[in-house]
Every structure is written in C-alpha cells, then in structure tokens.
A = this chain, B = another copy of it.
C-alpha cells in the first residue's frame, strides 16, 4: 500500500476498519473494503493463534491485518470477556464463536496477540507463556520489564532475535505505545544518521487510543452539540466534540502524565540509549483513529533537511508527504487505515544554529501501525 494511492482526501475514511462487523450501530465506523477477503492463510503447517480482546478496536484490527497480510495460521481462538463469550464472528469466510478468556485458553496456542488492557495481560500473559505461547502484548504491562523486548520491527528487530517459534518455549514481547511507535518510525532513521540528543514532542491524539467506546462517544457528542444538546460525557470527563484536552492518562508526581512518560522511557529502551533526552506534551484532539505529532529534534551531528528527506523517503514503513507549494502535508485522515507513517514539514530548525536541528510533523494510524499492525509484524518475525 502506497500513500500515493490514498483515497481522495475528501472521502470519509476515518472509521474503524472492521469494527462495524460486531457493532453496527456506529455510523462513522465503516468496514475496510479490503478486510476479510478469503485468503490462503488457513493451513495446517502454520502456527495456531489466539486473539485476546477480539471484540475491541485493536482486536478487530488484529483480524483485519492478519487477513490483509495473509498471515498463515492453522487455527485461531477468538478470546474475550464473559460478556462477549458465545457471540459469533465471521473471519475469512469461517464462523467462530467467541470464547471466554480463561487459564485454559492457551493450550496448543503458538502465538497469542493480547489487547485487552494491562490487568488482563498481567494475569493471563504469564499463563500463556507457561503454556508455551509467544505473547505479543499490546498493553503497557511488561514494556519496561528488563527481560521483555519492546519492539518496532523496522527499528529494533534484534531485540527479539533470541525468541524462536516452535521450540515449545513461551515468551513475552511487548508492543510499544502508539505515540512512541509513530514517533520513532519517523525519527529513528534520522537518529541512526546524526544521533538525536534531545526531542520535544507535542501530540495530537485520536479518540481510538481510548478504545472503540471513546470513538463512539466523540461521534455521539458531536451529534449532540450540533443539535444544541448537552454532550454525553462517559468515557471522558469533559466535552470532546469541537474541543481538545490534555491526555486523560493519570498525571505523575513530576507533572507528566503516563502517556508522556511512555514516550520518554520507551524511546530510551527501544533505542537502547539511556542518554537521549525526551520531553512530551500529549493532547487528545477530536479526530477518530490517527495520531499526529509535532517533533523537534536536536542532533549530535549536523543533518541538513534535504539529506533528512532522502533518508526518510528510503525508510521502511515511512512515506514523505512534504509538498510546500501546494501546502500538502500529512494529516490523520490521509493515514487512516493505512500502514505507513507519514512525515512532512521537514525543515531546518531556525532556533538552532547550524544544521543541528530539524522540525517534523508525523501522522500514523493509531489502531494500525500504532497497535495491531506493529504487533503482527512482530509475529511475522517469528515465522
């Protein structure tokens, strides 16, 4: 998929890719036209899979991405909470019954994709590992554990090179936070060339990061506000429609919220560089499913903007949209349902002397590369 082949910009494409399959009441959530086609990925010699949290926004996107990428599997367990157990789900023309997640769920499972929140991961992740499953965990539960690799396949694949499928030994691999993935997809190729010393990030984060219900609340609130009604505030404590606010993650004693500190700490771990200086301000904006980030970089070595642009054009999983004449740059809408992280507004920082600073604007689909796609790319490296 190339960003040059994007849907027309005015087309409405920011809904959940496939969420409407089980939540048809959301009008904004359009099925992805490419999802759930019949693929030849169901075969006996392939690994057995489990999807934990299959009814959630990321869980549904796991299925969409597995199908899009013809990920090979011999079987797939659809796991969720008791509330969803027993419901039916169609995936690649086969009907599945959603099973309740339990300690017995992981027998014979080779790869388990988790996206059901930190407490579920903490409880069932180790159980799955004990059963011999390799867990790719989308929560923050194990990200900072020293013996758990935190992986963006394009950035630090070596961190998981010791983990092998088919040796009967379970393992945990953590998927980084969405904001970290999107930021590092764009900044790592530049870091590799000129070494980032300091990074100042301001985010513009979509509703999807708070789950499918948050996306529905944004839609509902917007309708209510347009009708002159009081907006319904259940997921968030304040009006989200036509508004924005500091990220809803708890604020720590240093004044940063947890989302911001994930960017600080995960960057250090993924780059294996405890000295890189990062500060971040994380803000929720009324956008459905793709994050944007304004990134200011200071380098150890000089790096001019033309070289940076060339590096980014050749970076895997990155597209450059940087058309100054027509004022065309990355937007959340243009990257929605897309695999690539888009980078633009690449320019020499006028506040730093010499070629030691760059400003960038980065957009990436929060559910896809920020979560499901990255996890499945991790799983692909196990094959």
Q: Which A residues have a C-beta under 8 Å from some C-beta of B?
A: 9-12, 14, 27-28, 198-200, 202, 204, 218-219, 222-223, 225-226, 228, 230-231, 233, 237-239, 242-246, 248, 250-251, 254-257, 264, 277-279, 281, 283, 285-288, 292, 294, 296, 305, 324-325, 327, 329, 331-333, 344-352, 357, 359, 361
Q: Contact at A350–B200, with CB atoms within 8 Å?
A: no
Q: How many copies does the complex hold?
A: 2
Given A238-B331, A251-B324, A278-B351, do A285 and B244 touch, yes or no (CB 8 Å)? yes
Residue in B closest to A221 when the chains form the complex, CB atoms: B10
Q: Contact at B333–A28, with CB atoms within 8 Å?
A: no
Q: Contact at A244–B331, with CB atoms within 8 Å?
A: yes
A335–B131 Cα distance when bound, in Å, is 54
Most B CB contacts (10 A, CB to CB) among A204, A233, A345 go to A345
Q: Contact at B255–A281, with CB atoms within 8 Å?
A: no
Q: Contact at A199–B351, with CB atoms within 8 Å?
A: yes
A178–B259 Cα distance when bound, in Å, is 29
Q: Contact at B359–A231, with CB atoms within 8 Å?
A: no
Contact of A283 among B27, B226, B238, B294 (CB under 8 A): B294
A82–B262 Cα distance when bound, in Å, is 56
Given A246-B329, A351-B199, do A226 and B219 touch, yes or no (CB 8 Å)? yes
A231 CB to nearest chain B CB (Å)? 6
Taking CB atoms, residues of chain B closer than 8 Å to A198 are 351
Q: Contact at A345–B226, with CB atoms within 8 Å?
A: no
A and B contact pairs by CB, cutoff 8 A, 7 listed: A12-B231, A28-B226, A244-B287, A246-B345, A255-B345, A279-B359, A286-B287
Q: Contact at B14–A347, with CB atoms within 8 Å?
A: no
Residue in B closest to A329 when the chains form the complex, CB atoms: B246
A207 CB to nearest chain B CB (Å)? 9
Taking CB atoms, residues of chain B closer than 8 Å to A202 are 202, 281, 294
A234 CB to nearest chain B CB (Å)? 12
Q: Contact at A255–B286, with CB atoms within 8 Å?
A: no
Q: Contact at B200–A351, with CB atoms within 8 Å?
A: yes
Taking CB atoms, residues of chain B closer than 8 Å to A264 are 350-351
Most B CB contacts (10 A, CB to CB) among A238, A243, A333 go to A243
Q: Contact at A332–B243, with CB atoms within 8 Å?
A: yes
Given A287-B242, A350-B254, do A27 and B228 touch, yes or no (CB 8 Å)? yes
Taking CB atoms, residues of chain B closer than 8 Å to A223 are 226
Contact of A281 among B11, B28, B288, B294 (CB under 8 A): B294
Given A238-B10, A327-B237, do A279 and B296 touch, yes or no (CB 8 Å)? yes
Q: Contact at B333–A242, with CB atoms within 8 Å?
A: yes
Q: Contact at B239–A9, with CB atoms within 8 Å?
A: yes
Taking CB atoms, residues of chain B closer than 8 Å to A278 are 350-351
Q: Contact at B351–A228, with CB atoms within 8 Å?
A: no
Taking CB atoms, residues of chain B closer than 8 Å to A239 are 9-10, 12, 333
Taking CB atoms, residues of chain B closer than 8 Å to A349 are 279
A30–B228 Cα distance when bound, in Å, is 10
A64–B194 Cα distance when bound, in Å, is 53
